[in-house]
Structure formats: C-alpha cells, structure tokens
Amino acid sequence: MNWFLDMCIIIFYAEVGGKYYQKTATFVKNKKDNKFLICCYISKENMPKWILRQKIILKILKKRVDDLSFEIEKDPEYRELYHRDIAKLKKLITRTSIFKDSIKEYNSIRSNQEIMLNRIGFFITKLIDKEVVEKAKIASNGRKFVIARVPSEETMIF
C-alpha cells in the first residue's frame, strides 16, 4: 500500500517522547513494503519554513536565558513566528525560568531540537520513497484541495 503523508507525521516521528511519537514510530516501523509519498510543497517549502521558525524560537530563547530583561517581542525575527510558535516560545521561557541552571535547561532543549532536526532529515532522505505533486503543477484556480491517487500515481485537483 502507498501512504501519502502529511508534514505532521514527520514531525511526530522526529519528536522523540512527544505525545504522538510512539504511535508514529510504530507506523513507520511497520512500513515494510509500503511506500511513503510526500507532496513536494511539504518537503521543499513548508518543512524548511517550519524548521526556520524552530531555529528562531531557539535563538530568541537563548537571548532571553542570557538576559532576563530581554523583551522577546522586540527581536526582529519575532515577527516571523506564528501564534503557535510564540506560544511554544513562551512555554520554553517558562520552562527554563523554573530551573536554577537555566543554561543547562536551554542546552537540553537545544540538544533535543538538534536530534529532532536530524530525525526530520533522516525521514525525508531515507524513508520517503517519492515526492509528488510539484507546486507548479497545482492549478491556481482558487481550489484548495489536492488529492494524489497513489496506485496509478496520477494527480487529481478538486
């Protein structure tokens, strides 16, 4: 069977210890002869932007850990973050602030992020069998859904 994967599957797989990690890891482990397909938009545009935002979160967190008076909203890269990213940043700030050694906690967060980014790279390069539906081939007729008919590898736009 062929599986057309969403970006969340890759993130859940990479986030060891996360809420959906075990379920996703089991899914990937049971791949066997199945094929994993991913939309080119996810691998070439959406995922790189998400990774960039995760790196921005870490940079701003480091500034805040180094200087407790640092106002995160004044960082020029802060505007690049989505609402969910900002919520994550604030959660991480709270998390580092409750530890006596906030630098040690920051380093733990940084290390976890490095592992996660490496696992994302591994997933895309080693586990994805084919990228489908190039952005240029998606009709710009205002329709929002793209469905790949995997068995014949044809693409239908609804």
pLDDT 10s digits, 18-77: 899 999 999 999 999 999 999 989 999 999 999 999 999 999 999 999 999 999 999 999
Alpha-carbon distance values, 142 to 33, 42, 52, 126 (Å):
36, 19, 28, 34
Angle ∠(49,50,54) on CA atoms, nearest 5: 115
Strand, coil or helix: 27: helix
Per-residue pLDDT, 134: 62
Q: Considering the entire predicted model, what is its pTM?
A: 0.79
